[in-house]
Structure formats: structure tokens, C-alpha cells
Homo-oligomer: A and B are copies of this chain.
Amino acid sequence: MNAAIRAVVRTAIFKNIKVSAVYQGYEGLIEDSIEEFDARSVANIIQRGGTILRTARCQEFYTPEGRKKAYETLERRGIDGLVVIGGDGSFKGAATLYEEYKIPVIGIPATIDNDIYGTDVSIGFNTAINIALEAIDRLRDTAASHDRLFLAEVMGRNAGHIALYVGVAVGAEAILVPEVESDLDKVVQNIILAKDKGKNSSIIVVAEGAFKGGAFAVEKELKERSGYEVRTSILGHIQRGGSPVTRDRVLGSRLGFAAVKGLLAGRSGVMVGADKRDVVFVPLKEVFEKERNFDWELYEASKILTV
């Protein structure tokens, strides 16, 4: 997230636009917890986890009175446009503000669950999946040494993206996600099958919202149905922090840069996202005859971001 904040601030300054930081989300907008930033204000933050602007839930903003106060703050300070970094909830608020007061807004998707439509990936996802990966790789060591079945619960109340990616990456014996009804009998069958084939340990990755009661409920069910000893590890909040991986820093930089350029180009009521990715088949001849495009846009951005 800090990469996106840095990119917004530095791109704006490069374009000779004043830029102010709002602390603690919409609460800061209502209570005027706002500070004008310069290029140095965002020095040395790209490698830090969390967000230097801090975050908070704000019920008041979801009332007309709250949004009126927020708008008054913006007007008083002469703020002409708003970049909102967050998820669906934040975007709903931004869209309403735009509708009611015509204040231009652009959203930047940032949520480790990666459950936002319209972008291939959200800021935070790539870091979260690697933190979860490292943790579960360690569980695998213990599982193998103790001949045990481990459940690892990862974040994802409504979406199984983290569970799916991490489950594939650790070679989990089963992946339970909210998008698919969990068939624990099938899971037990597979574990028994795996034992027969010589696997002496198993890892099951469970998204928070995959099963009512979470991984502990799954543990209880599996024990009853299989008789095996099961250990559960809830990864929890450690998935949220940590120095961001390259992809997240690049994504934040790229989207922050594009958000400011979008605002300046008169766009509003939109989110800036990264495009989708599929599997494609390309003729080999083309592969080695053509040259891969250099990412010129990112290169241009890179020059601006280090002002």
C-alpha cells in the first residue's frame, strides 16, 4: 500500500499538483486529519508493511451527514480529487461521494484476499501468498517428521484465492474454498489413498470461510471420520504485514501512477486495475523470432517515482 501512496504523491508533485494525505480513511476526511505531503514525505516507505496513513472503519461516512462533513473538509482545503486505496467497501463510499458531490474519485484495489472484480490482482495479495507459503512449507517439515495430518487455515472469508494459490504452491493434498462445498468424506478418502501410496504426511489448506467454524471445525470432522491425529494452524494476522514482495511494490507503484494520470485526464468513478491473465498457446517460431516488449510505461513511471 505504501508503494501506491508514494506513487500517488510523487506523480502528483511531478505534475505540479498539490497532494495531501488523509489519515485513517474516511474518518480522517470527516475529522480533517489531513496533512500536505511533499516528495520527501514518502521517502523510505516502499519497503514497509502496513500503511503509513493507518486505517480505520468509519460508520459515519456511510450516512449522508458523514459524507457532508467529508465534502466540507475537501472543499475547505481546496481538494479537487480523491484517490481511494482499499476494497469494495471503500469503493462504495467513494462512488456515493462522487454521485452526491461530483468530487472526482479513483479507486486503487488493495486487499490481500484478491476478491475485487476488474483487476487481475489487488495490492497485498502477492505478499500474503508468500507469507502463507513460507509458513506452510514449515508445517510440511513438521508434518513429514511426525507423520501427521496438518490443517492450515489461510485468510479468505468469502473468497478462496489465497487458499487456491498457496494450496497449489505447497502441493496440498486438499484445498477447501468458499466457492466449493467441502466434501470431507472425499478428503478423508484421498488421505487414506495417499497413505496407501506411501505419503506419510498431508497438508490441507483451508480458507477461513470454506467451512462453518473454520479449520477447527474441519479438524473435528476429520478426526471423527478418519481416526487420524490432526493438527491445525491458523495463520491469521501474520499474513497481513511484512515487507511487500516485488510484485506488490511494482503494482502499487503502477496503479498509483495511473490513478493520478487518470484523474488528470478527467476520469472519475472508476477503479484502476491490472488486466486479466489466461493460458495461451503461441507458435514457437513467433516466440523466438519476436521480442518481448519492454514495459515502457513502467519505465517512465520509475523515473518519476524517485524525484
Q: How many copies does the complex hold?
A: 4
9-residue interface stretch from A71-79, A219-227, A249-257: A249-257
Q: Give the number of residues in A that approach B within 8 Å (Cβ atoms).
A: 139
Closest to A289 in B: B117
Q: Is the CB of B282 within 8 A of A197?
A: no
Interface readout for A267-306 with B: 1 if CB under 8 Å, 0 if not?
A: 1011111111111111111111111101101110110111
A123 within 8 A of B: no
Interface readout for A1-26 with B: 1 if CB under 8 Å, 0 if not?
A: 00100110011011000000000100
A40 within 8 A of B: yes
Given A275-B277, A277-B120, A301-B257: A170 and B47 interface contact (C-beta under 8 Å): yes
Q: Is the CB of B180 within 8 A of A299?
A: yes
Partner of A298, one of B107, B164, B291: B164
- Cα A114 to Cα B262 with chains together (Å): 29
- A138-B240, A164-B294, A169-B253 given; name 12 further pairs at CB < 8 Å: A6-B305, A7-B301, A10-B306, A54-B146, A91-B287, A117-B292, A140-B241, A165-B247, A168-B298, A170-B249, A233-B236, A234-B234
Shortest 5 CB-CB distances between A and B: which pairs? A141-B241, A138-B241, A49-B141, A118-B282, A50-B145
